[in-house]
Amino acid sequence: DGKNVYLRDIWPSTEEIAQTVQSSVLPEMFRKTYESITKGNPMWNELQVPAEKLYSWDPNSTYIHEPPYFKDMTMDPPGPHGVKDAYCLLNFGDSITTDHISPAGNINKDSPAAQYLVQRGVERKDFNSYGSRRGNDEVMSRGTFANIRIVNKLLNGEVGPKTVHVPTGEKLFVFDAAERYKAAGHATIVLAGAEYGSGSSRDWAAKGPMLLGVKAVISKSFERIHRSNLVGMGIIPLCFKSGEDADTLGLTGHERYTIDLPNKISEIKPGQDVTVTTDNGKSFTCTARFDTEVELEYFNHGGILPYVIRNLINKQ
């Protein structure tokens, strides 16, 4: 009739909707759908389903691999640990992001991760990305600190995912250097500037360094979530005192570092001072960035994952 029509004029009432549903949405519709749900896709139906209740790890898979977090785990918490005579794996400046630490993009053809995949018969066109292979710790540990734009002071300004193996002076991919340190029984630490771990939260930015054998990160400041993630993986987060950093303290990264933590968790308090000494006689004080009692409890249990599993086991 030439009059405006509004939504309120045509919107059905609650009673009308209920009546339509009751008369139109019938149980038989659902029965038919669910009765045929296993018949509609032959490829899906042909998949082999193991009878075991636990996941059966495929050792040949390059996408999903059983991680080593719980290897050698015991019911007794390991307690707090200091660091003795650790080498510096990397020496960074400011604003190292989680993508610098654990990139999610393409896997470079010359990287340790690429070598791992090639050795397992994966063609270069099928490398995919770190993000797609985040279920394989072997790939992701090799991808830790593998960002091609990373700047490590140990390389005197050279850009790329390598570092100096301090005992030999050799320039190696970060993963290869870390493996050498671990094979020789040496712990490692990371030196950094301000805003370490900035950017989007990425769990592998904490898991990767742990798998490489990093025991502590000493920086001017941390991104909040990344600092907590480090604690969750048993890595000690330390902050230089105000006005200090690696450069002002004359640290080059070629020293060996000892971090003096109490042996009893009851003697460690959130935000307490910790002494760090080097093998060339330098000594400086840092703030231990365990910010809550809960984080200290995680650290006492060797990290959040073992802690959670122990609690589940104890409740059983």
Helix intervals (H) in 3-136: 7-10, 14-24, 27-35, 42-45, 98-101, 112-119
pTM for this prediction = 0.81
- Amino acid 51: pLDDT: 87
Helices (H), 81-198: 98-101, 112-119, 137-142, 174-183
- Please give the pLDDT value at position 308: 55
CA-CA-CA-CA torsion sign (223, 227, 230, 235): positive
CA–CA separation, 101 and 204 (whole Å)? 8
- What parts of the chain have a pLDDT lower than 70? 302-316
Tens digits of residue pLDDT in 76-91: 777 777 899 999 999 9
d(CA 154, CA 277): 19
| Spatial distance between the Cα atoms of 176 and 165, rounded to a whole number of angstroms | 9
In the chain, what are the domains? Answer: 7-38 (no CATH), 83-102+144-315 (3.20.19.10)
pLDDT of residue 300: 76
Q: Is 237 helix (H, G, I), strand (E, B) or coil?
A: strand
Q: Does residue 99 contact residue 202 with C-beta atoms inside 8 Å?
A: yes
| DSSP secondary structure code for residue 131 in this structure | G
Pair 253, 228: CB distance under 8 Å: no
Per-residue confidence (pLDDT) for residue 259, from 0 to 100: 95
Tens of pLDDT, residue by residue over 123-170, are 999 999 999 999 999 999 999 999 999 999 999 989 999 999 999 999
Burial class (CB in 10 A: 0-12, 13-18, 19+), 158: exposed
Side-chain-side CA neighbours of 315 within 13 Å: the count stands at 6
